[in-house]
Amino acid sequence: MPLILAIESSCDETAVAIVRGEPGRAAEVLASEVASQIDLHREFGGVVPELASRNHSLHLRPLVEQALRHAGADIREVDAFAATTGPGLASSLLIGSTAAKAMACASGKPFLGINHLEGHLLSPFIGLTAVPPHVALIVSGGHTLLLDVAGPGSYRKLGSTRDDAAGEAFDKVGKMLGLPYPGGPEIERAARTGNPAAFGFPRSMLNDPHLDFSFSGLKTAVLYTLQRESAPVPVADLAASFQQAVIEILVGKALKAVKRSGKRVLALSGGVSLNGALRAAFGNACAPRGIDLLTAPPGLCTDNAAMIAFAALLRHLAGEHSALVEDIHPNLPLV
């Protein structure tokens, strides 16, 4: 049964995972290690690329050793090495990609360069025996993407953001509200005691015939509202109203995509999919319509290497591998 070791270092999380599997059987995650840099970047209100790459270099080797220990495996037993090659920060991608290539070269094993977005897309299917045709919605810090998925490696874009991604909007609005970085979890926390109907923020492009997204206008609406509000600022109500607007846009567009595609499975992935209110809204919308909703486990929603290893495993089983001379692609598209 093939054993895959993968590295994810596209932004500010250093991650290493080991996954094994074979056709017709559910993949098994033997180890999934993550070294977070959130505390390091919090004082700057966002990710500092140079600090991120330096810390990837510090954490990577200990994480590889830790993953092998937890998996009960020897590095000589690994059948292929994988790493995220894009999209992401160039200086961060280089660390993981170079390390995986070096291990592949030294051991004479194949290397697989994996698209970060494909990792997210496939993450809800880790532990299942197959990836069926479905509609996928990826919502993360840098991406909001709707796809028609025929199977692994066969993707057709239905819609994407024309400006800010949903996660980026969460972070920027969180900063406006004076909340700590990253803004997404903080807005969710503040929204629990707020009134989602307190402010009538716009649902941009929700009723348009296309399936693209726009969150820039919503972000600007929050800014203008803040400028009009007198102290004390109703942070909980603003957070709840903003979050509700994002949720309605994402759910509305995704349901429209499912209806048009004729598929009955909707897969939700990416860091923003951790939001409890978003998950609940999707569950409430999908169940009465007979749509099967699949989400990744919480530990596989944010950046992690298990999703990269799983994507690499599927490609390895299909006989696909990457050249060691393959470069990183900071702006690598999925489709």
pLDDT of residue 42 exceeding 90: no
Total structural domains in the chain? 2
76-106: per-residue pLDDT in tens? 999 999 999 999 999 999 999 999 999 999 9
Q: Which residues contact 101 (CB under 8 A, 6 or more apart)?
A: 81, 83, 111, 324
pLDDT of residue 37 exceeding 90: no
Same domain, 304 and 289: no
Same domain, 145 and 287: yes
> Which tokens in the block code for residue 126?
């880790």
pLDDT of residue 141 exceeding 90: no
> Which tokens in the block code for residue 307?
């999703």
| In-domain check, residue 20 | yes
Give the separation between CA 326 and CA 322, rounded to whole angstroms: 7
User: How confident is the prediction for the chain on average, in pLDDT?
Assistant: 96
- Give the pLDDT of residue 40: 84
| In-domain check, residue 329 | no
Give the separation between CA 13 and CA 203, rounded to whole angstroms: 32
Per DSSP bridges, beta strands 144-151 and 80-86 are unpaired
pLDDT of residue 284 exceeding 90: yes
What percent of the chain has a predicted confidence (pLDDT) above 70? 100
pLDDT of residue 43 exceeding 90: no
pLDDT of residue 151 exceeding 90: yes
- Give the pLDDT of residue 29: 98
pLDDT of residue 231 exceeding 90: no
What CATH code is carried by the domain that includes residue 72? Answer: 3.30.420.40
Q: What is the mean pLDDT of residues 99-117?
A: 98
Same domain, 307 and 209: no
8 A C-beta contact, residue 16 and residue 7 = yes
- Give the pLDDT of residue 115: 98
Same domain, 23 and 80: yes
Give the separation between CA 215 and CA 162, rounded to whole angstroms: 8
Same domain, 88 and 140: no
Q: What is the mean pLDDT of residues 126-138?
A: 96
| In-domain check, residue 154 | yes
For 247, the domain range is 134-295
Q: Identify which has the larger pLDDT, 38 or 182.
A: 182
Identify the residue whose tokens are 């909007």: 169
Same domain, 211 and 120: no
Q: How far is CA 74 from CA 3, 66, 67, 78, 321, in A?
A: 10, 11, 10, 7, 22
| In-domain check, residue 83 | yes
Identify the residue whose tokens are 């590889």: 64
Give the separation between CA 197 and CA 154, rounded to whole angstroms: 40
